[in-house]
Amino acid sequence: MKLKNEQVVIDGIDKKILRSLISDARTPILEIARNVGISGAAIHQRLRKLEKSGLIAGSKFVINPKVLGYHTMAFIGVFLDKAMSNPKAVKQLEAIPEVIECHYTTGNWSIFLKILCRDNSHLMEVLNKEIQAISGVSRTETFISLEQQIERQIKI
């Protein structure tokens, strides 16, 4: 039996299907079928196979945060006290909605965050009142993203 997260082989047709749906998750299957040159039922079958393989993690609408007034993206390296259990800190970070990514990383920091705030003063507030308030956080280093130039997924 095939396990999820095992490596999977996909052919050119699968790639075309995935590329369509990666660029627009609502592309009709029949439209893909027309472009690829096989029937809708065949595309459907392939999609079920791709889903079962675990390759397709899901689908999302993507929101433009600037339109909601969120203009400041920043990366934050977090130093934790040795005594602090990382999972405990992560749990508290989850409760902060401005934190949109959280990684355990190699290197100086214990934890590395991406956060999204309305502006610099909102960023200051989140840093001082939310993140520094987590017990075990000793110090942080912040890098503001002035402009994001590339944003994409792995090439199919």
Task: List contacts with DNA (CB under 7 A).
Answer: 13, 28-31, 37-42, 44-46, 49
Among 77, 68, 156, residue whose Cα is nearest residue 112? 77
- CA pair distance 94, 107, nearest whole angstrom: 22
Q: Could you say whether residue 41 binds a second copy (CB under 8 A)?
A: no
Cβ distance to DNA smaller for residue 27 or 86: 27
Question: Does 82 help bind a second copy (rule: CB under 8 A)?
Answer: no
* C-beta closer to DNA: residue 29 or 137: 29
Which residue is it, tokens 């609502």? 26
Closest CB to DNA among 29 and 102? 29
CA–CA gap between residue 4 and residue 1 (Å, rounded): 10
The string over 83-99, giving b where at least 16 C-beta atoms fall within 10 Å of a residue's C-beta and e elsewhere, is: ebeeeebeebbeebebb
Position among 1, 37, 83, 107 found at the interface with a second copy (CB under 8 A): 107
Q: What are phi and psi of 113, to 5 degrees?
A: -120, 150
Cβ proximity to a second copy: between 25 and 133 the closer is 25
Q: Contact residues for a second copy (CB under 8 A)?
A: 4-8, 10, 18, 21-26, 53-70, 73, 75, 90, 93-94, 97, 99-107, 109, 112, 116, 141-156
